[in-house]
Structure 1
Amino acid sequence: MSTSSQPQFRYTQTPSKVLHLRNLPWECTEEELIQLCDPFGKIVNTKCNVGANRNQAFVEFADLNQAISMVSYYASSSEPAQIRGKIVYIQYSNRHEIVNNKSPGDAPGNVLLVTIEGVEAGDVSIDVIHLVFSAFGFVHKIATFEKAAGFQALIQFSDPETASAARNALDGRSIPRYLLPEHFGSCHLRISYSAHTDLNIKFQSHRSRDYTNPYLPVNPTAMDGAMQTAVGPDGKKVEFQSNVLLALIENMQYAVTVDVLHTVFSAYGSVQKIAIFEKNGATQALIQYPDIPTAAVAKEALEGHCIYDGGYCF
C-alpha cells in the first residue's frame, strides 16, 4: 500500500471515459501509458507530457465502463498503479474526450499571443520574455514583432496545458520591475491563444529564437556589436574591435556544446550570450562580452589554442 499523503484517487468526480494521470515519470511515453491502461479496455486517444512539469497525461477509453473498471481496480488493489516504480495518481477527467483544438482566441492552444502594453520593440528583450514564460514549462520558440496593437510576441510551448497555465498566471499582470529598464513603470501583458501550432523560426536573432535547435543559423543581428570587417589599402581584411568574438572551432573529436564554450570563455570575463551555428561546413560560435577590452583579452588568450589536448581548437 502507498504511504503517500496524496490520495491516489478522488471519489467526488463524475466518471468519465477520460482519465487524468498525475505524478508520471519525466517524459513518460505513450507506450508506457498504454501498457498500464490496456488491460482494462481499448485506448482510443492519449495526451502525454502535459502540465508545467510535463508529468501528467490523459487517457481516453473507448467506453465509460472500461475507465470505471481501471479506477475501481486500483482503488481496491493493495498495489498502486506504477510506471518506472513511481506511483501514478488516477482520477476521472473533467473532459469527456481528448480534443486537439487548434482554433484561435479563447480555445486553448500551445502557442500564446502576448501583447506587451506600454513598451516599444527593444524595450523588453527576448531573453526577458523567455525568462518570464519559462517559469511555467519548456519554451520551444519565441517570435517578436510590432503590429498596430503594439509590441507582441508569439510563445510556443509543448502543449496547450502548459500554455494555459502560463496564460492564467500572467494575463493582465506586469513583467517584474527588476527585469525592466530603470525608467520604466509597469508594462501589462495581454495574452490570448494563437492559431499557430508550430512557429517557423529560420534564424536565431534578437527577434526570434528556437530553443529546440541549437544549430539553427544565427542572423547577424542576433547579437549587438557583432564583428565587422573592412578592406584595407593592401586589399586585406581589417577587423574592427568588438565585444563579440567569432570563434571557428576546428579539429573537433566530440560535439561542441554551449556549456563547454561558456566554461572556457567565462574564464576571461562575464559571458553575456553564446550562439553556435554551422557555416560552410564548419562549426562557429558568437561569444558576447560586456565590453571590448574583455573580448580582446579572451581572443589573445584563446586564439589557436585547444580546449583539450587533441580536442577542440580555436
Structure 2
Amino acid sequence: MRILVIGAGALGGYFGGRLLAAGRDVTFLVRPRRAALLAERGLEIISVKGGLQLAHPPTVTADKLNQHYDLVLLSCKAFDLTDAIKSFAPAIGPQTMILPVLNGLLHLDILASHFGAEHVLGGLSKISATLDAEGRIHHLSSFHSISFGEQNGARTERIEALAETLRSSGFDAPLSENILAEMWNKWVFIAAAASLGCLMRAEVGDIVATGAASYGKTLLSECAAIAARHNFPQDAQGLQFGEKMLTEAGSAFKPSMLRDIERGQQTEAHHIVGDLLRRSGDLPTPILQIADANLKVYEARRAREAGA
C-alpha cells in the first residue's frame, strides 16, 4: 500500500516515521524548506516508546506530485485544510482512501465536497507531540494511536487491508466499527476543555481554586447535549473522565487551544467550538456561546493586528 503523509510535523512526522521504520511504502508531502531539512538531517523522533533516526526519508513537494496513492494520511491543523487539499489533490485516484485525523467533524464534509464521500474514512489520533526548532519530533507521553474505520462502520475489503498495513507499525491502530461515535466523543471533550481554558485563560487547577469548577461541568453538559441531539449520546464513563479532567484540584491541564492563544497563534476555534455550536439548534448553550464569542474576538483582533 502506497502511503502519502501530508506534512512531516509533530503528528504526520511521528506516525509516518513509525510506518516508514516498519517497512511501509511512505512518502511525505512537504514544503521545500522542510524537504531540504529532512534531506540534510533526516527525520528524528525522540520518544519513550523508542527513538528513531531515519536518514533521507522519501519526500515530494506539491509541484512534483503526479502519482496516485492508496492512502493519504492527513493530520494538518483544521485551518490549513484548504491549502492542504490543493497540495495533495493530484494524489487522489479512483481507489484512494483519505484518512484524516483532524479534530471535530467539519473536515469530513469539506473533504467529501472535494473528492467524494466514498474516499473519506473516519479517524482520530491520540498523541501528545511537538516539533522543536531543529525539526525534531518529541513524543511527550506514552500514548500514540490512530483509530480509523469506514464512516458507516462496515468491514470492507479496503478497510481490512488498511488495518493489516497499520498493524505492527510501532503505534496503536485499532480498527473501529463505530468511528463517528469515537470522533464525537473526542470532540465533546476537547470543545468543552478548549472553551473552559480559553474563557478563563488558566489551567484547570487555577480555575478550580477560585471556586469556578462548575463551569467545566456545564460546558461538558452543553457539548454532550449537542452530540446527543445528533444521535451520538455520550457514555457515562466518558463523561466521568471528562468531568474529572475539567474539575480536578491542582491539575496543570491546559488545552492546546489556550497554548495557541498564549503564543499569539491562529486557533482551530471555528472547527472545534464554532462548528459544534452551529449544530446545537435550539438547545440552551449559554456558556458555549460566550466561549465562541470570546474566541471570535481573539481571532478578529489577531487578524487586525497582523494587518496593521
Structure-1-length-normalised TM-score: 0.25
Greater strand share, structure number:
1
Structure-2-length-normalised TM-score? 0.26
